[in-house]
């Protein structure tokens, strides 16, 4: 069913008006605090603790728990009839407090948008907002009001399967996109729960759930900025991470949850644990039993227990025995109620149970999903300009199991995604080719995991019969996401062998690579001239990929992660520190491998277009900078090719001499611009001087006097563009907010 067929285009519009909410003004906030305290004053200890219990659909939840006030928040209630039933039960409780309905809505609800790592490759807060807003609108339509997203975990290690849920390796990109996602979700009607606080993206060996060691100054410099941006963008809640950080599990970490999040950043929403994360404190070896785990978690600042049932079981007794002050419980309940009032939950009608997500995908959501997807594709290489296919290509062979993989193209965490809604890459190519009279010869060559290559001969014949080959390979979705750490990042199964055979036909081959992380390409990068990384593109994969392959749109994505040559290079990232022995190819006693190049295959920020861009006339507005001022760098960018295209203009800096080693390069600002052939735009990138400093272990920002080198260009290989000088050293205490990065573009 389409949205236009539902007696409900107006119903949908109305639903949005009721669910979208905004950050309250100071006056409204005061009124909310009054209502919170009034309600809290009427609650029994058991009713309070019921508000701190978050339970999933199905066991251990009994429906009566809701009417008995034991489930203040619910998850995985993702249909209107279930939400309506729970709401009706909550109305039977003495105080009629409405529940939260949470779900992992990461990149779509019914309509699937690209996975967050792909979406990050668009380098566009506008695109991130658009995708999040659509995801939220569809989920809110059936009564979900809270998402366990965005994931703000920075990761420099593609072995970690969950890298697909984030924005990659850079704190500036991460902060900008995390804020955009929080805003988009809120605009679409979902409160955000930014996760996983914190350090979860740097587990040892890339193993999901494993331990993380990150010095505090490095937490402030690198891992925390995206979370702080989420606070400033109005994230309603946070989720504590599973991992131990420097030996202290995040679920019972007062430094993270109270000192940083509440005291330094002023966050006044609530924190939930991750799935049975509180009970796992026993496995972590810091609690002897469930009671101690519950006590440690709540005292550290975890307000809500996801799926552990430990708060509801143990906290009443912990309070009565005087081991947990009731004031601590009150404060946690206050945070939860404050959030519910801010979201307007007390003033909303219950959901209409006749609503169905079958209203989606709608023509509009498909259009948005296609627009977002094609902005996320990264053209990694394009030797001999195999892409886009020109008029000489009258037939294409479409090879590879992921060409026709409606389930896999949705990627992990696909909420209510139905594979039947997917337009596959094969289908997208067929539609586009049909319009242009191009023949399509399809032959998968191997099974999904490419273990069985019985179909190879048929694929080679299809290739020989065709003018060009589109090979669609990569990671089936099962190999990506939570609990999908990989020790071998080579193309899985026999994909490399199949690609080698296709290349040997002598036909031009374009590899369309799907997956949730960079994969090790080995000789494939030599043998295959054109490679387009498409991540998991979602419902509209087919039309979006066809748009780019046939040149209707130029690719404009840039890598949000460094692409390694070998798994052994990981963790690998561009913004690393200098060493005492910088790489010299002819000197073994410098930083290098004896069996692999030291460079990445493709650097951070990298991505080609079908046109070319020339950078010129870089100017630094003011070369001497003091506190409160902006580093302002202007550059002219010209489209020197024959096609329209978009470029991501990137500004990097380096502090070459400081009291502590500073990274060789750090992205500080970026702007995506569209240019017609021959057109020039002048782009001004601005960076607050405060952002050029670094942190001390207590969170103080130290900005030191001295030179700052500037680099501007279309990737992290950007050219030097001069120097500015910070005229005096100053410190900013952790409590103060820093100004946001801003940019502007002129014709
Ligand atoms: C994941 C969270 C997720 C939660 C609820 C956990 O396993 O770590 O990211 O939000 O499940 O689905």
Query: In the prediction, which pLDDT does 10 show?
Result: 40
Measured in angstroms, how far is the CA atom of residue 435 from the centroid of ligand 1? 44
Coil, helix or strand at residue 558: coil
Structure tokens at 666: 């750090």
Atom 4 (ligand 1): residue with closest C-alpha? 275
Ligand 1, closest atom to CA 149? 10
Atom 12 (ligand 1): residue with closest C-alpha? 104
Query: In the prediction, which pLDDT does 6 show?
Result: 35
Q: Determine the residue of 58, 100, 148 to mutate for testing ligand 1's pocket, defined as the one with the most ligand atoms within 8 A of the Cβ atom.
A: 148
Atom 8 (ligand 1): residue with closest C-alpha? 274
Q: Which of 82, 153, 274, 305 is catalytic?
A: 274
**Residue 60 pLDDT class (50, 70, 90 cuts):** confident
List pocket residues of ligand 1, CB cut-off 6 Å: 104, 148, 195, 274-275, 482
Measured in angstroms, how far is the CA atom of residue 275 from the centroid of ligand 1? 6
User: Which backbone phi and psi does 514 adopt, to 5 degrees?
Assistant: -110, 155
User: Which backbone phi and psi does 443 adopt, to 5 degrees?
Assistant: -155, 115
**Residue 17 pLDDT class (50, 70, 90 cuts):** very low
Atom 2 (ligand 1): residue with closest C-alpha? 274
Q: Determine the residue of 275, 306, 416, 484 to mutate for testing ligand 1's pocket, defined as the one with the most ligand atoms within 8 A of the Cβ atom.
A: 275
pLDDT, tens only, 412-437: 999 999 999 999 999 999 999 999 99
Contact in structure between 572 and 517 (CB atoms under 8 Å): no
Q: Is the C-alpha dihedral spanning 408, 199, 520, 453 positive or negative?
A: negative
Structure tokens at 461: 């014949």
**Mean pLDDT value across residues 627-643:** 98
Question: Is it the case that residue 747 has pLDDT exceeding 90?
Answer: no
Structure tokens at 27: 């006056």
Coil, helix or strand at residue 55: strand
Q: Determine the residue of 239, 274, 415 to mutate for testing ligand 1's pocket, defined as the one with the most ligand atoms within 8 A of the Cβ atom.
A: 274
What DSSP state is assigned to residue 735? T
Atom 6 (ligand 1): residue with closest C-alpha? 275
Query: In the prediction, which pLDDT does 12 show?
Result: 45
Query: In the prediction, which pLDDT does 746 show?
Result: 59
Measured in angstroms, how far is the CA atom of residue 123 from the centroid of ligand 1? 26
Instruction: Print burial letters for 684-708: b (CB count within 10 Å at least 16), e (below 16).
Output: bbbbbbbbbbbbeeebbbbbbebeb
Is residue 274 annotated as part of the catalytic site, yes or no?
yes
Structure tokens at 226: 């995206």
Question: Is it the case that residue 740 has pLDDT exceeding 70?
Answer: no
Task: Catalogue all structural domains in the chain, each as residue range(s) with its CATH number.
Answer: 3-347 (3.20.20.300), 392-569 (3.40.50.1700), 613-746 (2.60.40.10)
Measured in angstroms, how far is the CA atom of residue 3 from the centroid of ligand 1? 30
Q: How far apart are CA 68 and CA 62, in angstroms?
A: 10
Contact in structure between 449 and 491 (CB atoms under 8 Å): no
Considering only CA atoms, which of 141, 24, 128, 4 is closest in space to residue 83? 141
Omega before residue 288 within 30° of 0, cis: no
Residue with structure tokens 């907010």?
A: 737
Which strands form 146-147's sheet, in the order they lie side by side? Answer: 270-272, 237-240, 191-197, 146-147, 100-103, 73-75, 53-56, 305-306
Measured in angstroms, how far is the CA atom of residue 15 from the centroid of ligand 1? 27
**Mean pLDDT value across residues 607-623:** 98
Structure tokens at 656: 């070459």
Length of the chain: 747
Question: Is it the case that residue 173 has pLDDT exceeding 70?
Answer: yes
Tally Cβ neighbours within 10 Å of residue 488.
10
Q: Write the Ramachandran bin of 642: left for phi over 0, alpha for psi from -120 to 50, otherwise beta.
A: alpha
Q: How far apart are CA 542 and CA 404, in angstroms?
A: 9
Query: In the prediction, which pLDDT does 735 show?
Result: 74
Strand partners, 724: 708
pLDDT, tens only, 75-134: 999 999 999 999 999 999 999 999 999 999 999 999 999 999 999 999 999 999 999 999
Q: Tell me the average pLDDT of the chain.
A: 95
Atom 11 (ligand 1): residue with closest C-alpha? 275
Structure tokens at 85: 């039933």
Kindly list the distances between the CA atom of residue 299 and the CA atoms of 73, 296, 308, in Å, as whole numbers in the listed order: 20, 5, 16
Measured in angstroms, how far is the CA atom of residue 93 from the centroid of ligand 1? 28
Measured in angstroms, how far is the CA atom of residue 251 from the centroid of ligand 1? 14
Q: Determine the residue of 196, 482, 483, 485 to mutate for testing ligand 1's pocket, defined as the one with the most ligand atoms within 8 A of the Cβ atom.
A: 482
């Amino acid at each position: 069913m389409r949205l236009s067929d539902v007696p409900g285009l107006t119903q949908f519009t109305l639903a949005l008006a009721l669910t979208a909410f905004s950050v309250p003004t100071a006056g409204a906030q005061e009124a909310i605090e009054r209502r919170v305290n009034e309600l809290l004053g009427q609650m029994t200890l058991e009713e309070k603790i019921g508000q701190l219990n978050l339970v999933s659909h199905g066991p251990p939840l009994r429906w009566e728990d809701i009417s008995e006030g034991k489930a203040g928040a619910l998850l995985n209630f993702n249909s209107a009839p279930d939400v309506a039933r729970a709401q009706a039960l909550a109305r039977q409780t003495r105080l009629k407090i409405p529940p939260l309905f949470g779900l992992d809505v990461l990149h779509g609800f019914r309509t699937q948008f690209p996975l967050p790592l792909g979406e990050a490759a668009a380098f566009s807060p506008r695109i991130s907002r658009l995708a999040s807003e659509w995801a939220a609108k569809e989920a809110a339509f059936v009564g979900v009001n809270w998402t366990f997203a965005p994931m703000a975990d920075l990761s420099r290690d593609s072995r970690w399967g969950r890298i697909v849920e984030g924005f990659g390796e850079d704190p500036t990109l991460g902060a900008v996109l995390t804020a955009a996602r929080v805003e988009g979700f809120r605009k679409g009607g979902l409160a955000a729960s930014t996760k996983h606080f914190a350090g979860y993206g740097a587990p040892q060996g890339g193993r999901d759930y494993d331990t993380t060691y990150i010095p505090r100054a490095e937490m402030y410099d690198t891992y925390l900025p995206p979370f702080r941006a989420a606070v400033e963008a109005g994230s309603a809640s946070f989720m504590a991470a599973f991992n131990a950080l420097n030996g202290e599990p995040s679920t019972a970490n007062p430094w993270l949850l109270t000192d940083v999040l509440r005291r330094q950043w002023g966050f006044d929403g609530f924190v939930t644990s991750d799935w049975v994360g509180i009970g796992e404190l026993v496995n972590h070896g810091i609690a002897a039993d469930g009671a101690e785990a519950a006590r440690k978690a709540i005292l550290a600042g975890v307000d809500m227990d996801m799926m552990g049932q430990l708060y509801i079981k143990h906290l009443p007794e912990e309070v009565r025995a005087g081991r947990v002050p009731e004031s601590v419980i009150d404060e946690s309940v206050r945070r939860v109620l404050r959030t519910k009032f801010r979201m307007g939950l007390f003033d909303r009608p219950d959901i209409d149970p006749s609503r169905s997500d079958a209203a989606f995908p709608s023509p509009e959501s498909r259009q948005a999903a296609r627009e977002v997807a094609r902005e996320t594709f990264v053209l990694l290489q394009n030797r001999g300009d195999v892409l886009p296919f020109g008029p000489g290509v009258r037939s294409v062979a479409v090879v590879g199991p992921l060409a026709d993989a409606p389930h896999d193209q949705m990627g992990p965490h696909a909420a209510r995604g139905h594979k039947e809604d997917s337009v596959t890459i094969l289908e997208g190519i067929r539609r586009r080719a049909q319009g242009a009279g191009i023949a399509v010869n399809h032959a998968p060559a191997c099974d999904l995991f490419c273990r069985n290559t019985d179909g190879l001969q048929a694929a080679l014949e299809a290739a020989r019969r065709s003018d060009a080959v589109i090979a669609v390979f990569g990671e089936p979705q099962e190999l990506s996401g939570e609990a999908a750490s990989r020790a071998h990042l080579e193309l899985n199964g026999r994909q490399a062998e199949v690609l080698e055979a296709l290349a040997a036909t002598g036909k031009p081959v374009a590899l369309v690579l799907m997956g949730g992380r960079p994969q090790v390409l080995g000789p494939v990068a030599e043998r295959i001239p054109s490679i387009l990384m498409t991540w998991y593109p979602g419902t509209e994969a087919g039309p979006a990929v066809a748009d780019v392959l046939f040149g209707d749109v130029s690719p404009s994505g840039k890598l949000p992660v460094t692409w390694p040559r070998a798994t052994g290079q990981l963790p690998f990232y561009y913004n690393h520190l200098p060493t005492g022995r910088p790489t010299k190819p002819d000197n073994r006693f410098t930083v290098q491998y004896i069996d692999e190049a030291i460079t990445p295959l493709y650097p951070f920020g990298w991505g080609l277009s079908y046109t070319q861009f020339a950078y010129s006339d870089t100017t630094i507005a003011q070369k001497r900078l003091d506190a409160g001022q902006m580093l302002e760098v202007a550059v002219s960018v010209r489209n020197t090719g024959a096609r329209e295209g978009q470029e991501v203009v990137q500004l990097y800096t380096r502090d070459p001499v400081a009291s502590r080693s500073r990274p060789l390069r750090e992205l500080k600002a970026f702007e995506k611009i569209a240019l017609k052939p021959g057109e020039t735009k002048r782009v001004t990138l601005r960076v607050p001087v405060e952002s050029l400093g670094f942190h001390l272990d207590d969170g103080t920002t130290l900005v030191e006097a001295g030179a700052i080198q500037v680099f501007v260009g279309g990737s992290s290989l950007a050219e030097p563009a001069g120097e500015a000088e910070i005229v005096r050293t100053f410190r900013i205490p952790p409590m103060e907010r820093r100004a946001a990065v801003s940019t502007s573009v002129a014709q």
